[in-house]
A and B are shown apart, each in its own frame.
Chain A
Amino acid sequence: MKKYLALTLGVLTAIGGFVDIGDIVTNAEAGARFGLGLTWVVVLGVIGICAYAEMSGRIVAATGRPVYDVIRERLGPRAALFNLIASFIVTLLTLAAQIGGVAVAIQLASGIPHVVWVAPVAIGLWILMWRVKFEKIERILGLAGLTIAVFAVSIWWLDPDWSALSGQVMSITPPPGEPVPTYLYYAVTLFAAAMTPYEVFFFSSGGVEERWTVKQLGIQRANVLIGFPLGGLLSLGIAAAAAVAILPLGMEVETLGQVVLPIGLAFGLAGMIVVLFGFFTVMVGAAFETAMSCGYMLAQYFGWQWGKRKQPKRAARFHAVVAGSVLLAFLIVQTGVDPVMITEVSLIGSAVALPLTYLPVLIVANDRQYLGDHVNGRFGNAVGLVTLLVVLIAAVAAIPLMIATGMGA
């Protein structure tokens, strides 16, 4: 019984860990423009994040070492420092995007401009992290975040053309009239949103905090392999709703306010309350995860005390970095930059930085000195290598595509 409970809660956490402002924005943008024509990218991204998280979870269970420990040991301090700086900047931008997203969700609910809400959101986030238990935050926000399933439900109310939708799902080429670079730009951001580095920093550090051992490998693997695909389905629900309600209008999605349009059409005010609540919890959860990840990375590179399980005053530098990251992210958003813009920039950065942290994990997952009998099997390596290829292509293509298309315009 206890085992099933652990599984359920773990799955919830994984679903919540998957969906964030990046997934919300990119799925809505892609859905409004290409219908479900980029479904294959979300599938690739989900396979990728499953492989990445499963390997790093296995490393944690077998050795007790989180990702950045492994990166410094494997790459040496120089390459790892470069890696750390790149990943830190990207994660900080992702944190800023989530904080901005929460502020916009409150704006949509209250009508008062989002810049007013940035400071209260940042302060509230810090208090949440300082006072509330790790597991409580993860479970409550994970469960509450499921409300964004309202997107998937809305499709039935909007009475779509099912055969057209299923036709889009099967396609792997741009719809007629759409330029290939734009299609590929959206493919890269959608992939980056599904496979974001912070998810794995957070996941593996959380595993160390919860003291995983090889005994829990089965449950932990099930959490990943059930939770992340369900998170992917929730994201695809957003794309599908946009495909049904926004695509026929010939409109482009540029704000979170437009993302929730299908819900307004399907369920009116009640739907809006549910979806804004869902956005709020999902993004607060992601803000928690990204802020903690900022602290995890630095602390693990330098070997500091870290984690929520330790007395806060015994992990002073860790908590200072977490609070400092929230402060920096707050300053970025408070300038008034559009949170959707920050999201897109952070996703391009994620795509570029991902190989830096993915490759060392793949290498260590094959190292018998670390993992003994728990090294990758043949299937694991096949998936791992295909993912590596996709990750590399996305990383190389990201910036040229961003420039060539003017950020998907």
Chain B
Amino acid sequence: MSWIEWHGRDRIDLGTQMLDRQITAPEAVHVGKVDDLELHFREDGALEVTALLVGASALCRRMPSPARGLLRLAMRLTGGPHPERRIGLAHVVDVKSDVEVTAEAGESATSPTERQLRKFVSRIPGAGREGS
């Protein structure tokens, strides 16, 4: 299933075709998951997807209460909760088995927790070498 294949179709099941997919930026950078979608009412009354929402805060909204509590606790323990990140639909390049976005969108959607941890991990000798 690719972005192209979406054209001309009457219906797309966003639940199975979009939500919870992996979001990937160029060079196999993992950005996050499609944790939620931003929808807007158009003037003709139809709903339109305007952005992908990324981050545990967005995921929380879709969780039942015990799981939500657990996720909130995990976020607090790791220096959060941080607000969700938004990737406008214009930045989505293709939809395959993952959702591909532009490098710029990928960079701006990087998790604040990941950024903080990177500072710490970078200090460990060998953290900057090429992967193996």
Residues of chain A having any CB pair with chain B under 8 Å: 63-65, 69, 72-73, 76-78, 81-82, 130-135, 299, 302-314, 316-317, 319-320, 369-370
Contacts and interface: CB of A to CB of B under 8 A. Distances in A.
B32 A77 contact: no
B41 interface: no
B21 A77 contact: no
Query: Contact size class for B?
Result: 35 or more
Contacts of B127: 311-313
Contacts of B32: 302-304
A132 B62 CA distance: 40
Contact of B128 (A135, A299, A313): A313
9 contacts: A63-B97, A65-B22, A72-B33, A73-B21, A133-B132, A134-B132, A304-B111, A316-B118, A320-B121
A313 B20 contact: no
Contacts of A313: 118, 121-122, 127-128
B41 to A, nearest CB: 25
Contact of A64 (B21, B97, B128): B97
A77 B62 contact: yes
B117 A73 contact: no
Contacts of B117: 316-317, 320
Overall SS of chain A's interface: helix
B126 A78 contact: no
Contacts of B118: 313-314, 316
Nearest to A75: B20
Given A303-B31, A303-B33, A317-B117, A77 B59 contact: yes
Interface string B28-53: 01111101000000000000000000
B131 A370 contact: no
B63 interface: yes
A78 B45 CA distance: 31
A228 B122 CA distance: 38
A164 B22 CA distance: 55
B20 to A, nearest CB: 5
B114 A317 contact: yes
Contacts of A72: 20, 33
Given A72-B20, A312-B126, A319-B121, A303 B132 contact: no
A307 B131 contact: yes
Most chain A CB within a 10 A radius of its CB, from B22, B30, B120, B122: B30
